[in-house]
Amino acid sequence: MIPISKRVICALLLAVLVAGLHLMEAGAAAEAVIGYLPDNQLYRVAIITPDGDEEYVYQVEYRVEAGRLFASTIGPGYTMESRYDADLRLLNSEMAVLTSEDAVRIGFDRRVAAYDPEEEQYVLVYYLEDKLQSTREIRLREQATEIEVLGLHLQALLNQGRTDFHGRLLDLNSPGKMQLDSRILTDKQIQDLANQKKMAPQVRSLLEKREEIIVFSIGYDGFLRFFFPTRFYVVLENTAPYRILSYWAGSGERLRFHIYQFME
């Protein structure tokens, strides 16, 4: 590993420790989000096309331990370990690409991300064969929910008897952050969603069980919705602990659905 990469890693780890101390102090007065989550959840997740074909399958485990949330993702193409604070703010994550073909295609085989509280930004560092390739920053002064745990955030809200999700979404794989609001779909809106032409049959079948589900529609509201019409949809069970059932966003050729199956 080259010297600069060691310095970057040290800085990232220091940033994580400092962030953890600040967040522990700031969150002491209010009950933490993770207090409304099950201690352990293991899901099989299938990414499917609008025609219902499975493109990729992986497992993700969420564990609540020592005032933190730990997420472990294992699939045939990559693994990822992520750590979040008590309010589901990302502290750090490390992703490893498992095949050389994929690494060459995307330009890295390891990505390290951590929050730097002094600069108020996430720092992402990309490596290929232990050689530093590039770095990227995402400035973020306010709290944000990473897309990887959006379903958990909604699950926690429902366990509090709330449905009022609004705020920033963070996506490490895209330009960065989005300021969004949400609404719960009515039965008619769910049926209209199920009837959409490019709806995957597995998701359509799920949406037809309207008495068993809650559907969040999340996206830009107000004036911005005319420029950014894409919405995120998250389907959860309608009884505690409100497990995640499905998630999707996008349109056209990029439209993909995530189907969650809880593993006992």
pLDDT for the residue numbered 12: 41
Cα 12 to the chain's mean position, in Å? 21
Does residue 66 register a pLDDT over 80? yes
Is this model's pTM higher than 0.85 or not? no
Q: How far apart are CA 173 and CA 193, in angstroms?
A: 27
Report whether 212 contacts 238 (CB < 8 A): yes
Q: What pLDDT score was predicted for residue 9?
A: 44
Fill in the amino acid letter for 154: L
Q: Please give the pLDDT value at position 226.
A: 54
> Cα separation of 114 and 62, whole Å?
19
pLDDT for 171: 79
Q: Give the pLDDT mean for 149-166.
A: 91
What are the residue ranges spanned by the domains of the chain? 1-30+90-141, 31-66+143-264
Predicted local confidence at residue 16, as pLDDT: 39
- Give the pLDDT score at 4: 43
Q: Are 75 and 61 in contact (CB under 8 A)?
A: no
- The pLDDT of residue 28: 37
- Quick: pLDDT tens for 86-128: 999 999 999 999 999 999 999 999 999 999 988 888 999 999 9
pLDDT band at 7 (very low <50, low <70, confident <90, very high): very low
Once rounded to an integer, what is the mean pLDDT over residues 161-186? 77
In 3-state terms, what secondary structure has residue 220? coil
Instruction: State the Cα–Cα distance between residues 89 and 104, nearest whole angstrom.
Output: 31
Question: What does the alpha-carbon distance between residue 194 and residue 135 come to, in Å, rounded to a whole number?
Answer: 41
Query: What integer pLDDT is reported at residue 20 of this predicted model?
Result: 43
Summarize pLDDT for 218-252 with one digit per residue, the tens: 886 655 555 555 688 999 999 999 999 999 987 78
Of 12-26, 65-79, 81-95, 206-220, minimum mean pLDDT range: 12-26
Question: Most confidently modeled of 146-150, 160-164, 184-188?
Answer: 184-188
Q: How many CB atoms lie within 10 A of CB 137?
A: 12
Four-CA torsion 124, 259, 86, 81, nearest 10 degrees = -40
Q: How far is CA 38 from CA 15, 61, 64, 86, 155, in A?
A: 28, 11, 7, 13, 10
* Count of beta carbons in the 10 Å neighbourhood of residue 89: 20
| pLDDT given for residue 176 in this prediction | 54
Q: Taking 50 as the threshold, does the pLDDT of residue 19 lie above it?
A: no
Residue 145, classified by CB atoms within 10 Å of its CB into exposed (0-12), middle (13-18) or buried (19+), is buried
Decide if pLDDT at 1 tops 50: no
Name the percent of the chain lying above pLDDT 70: 81
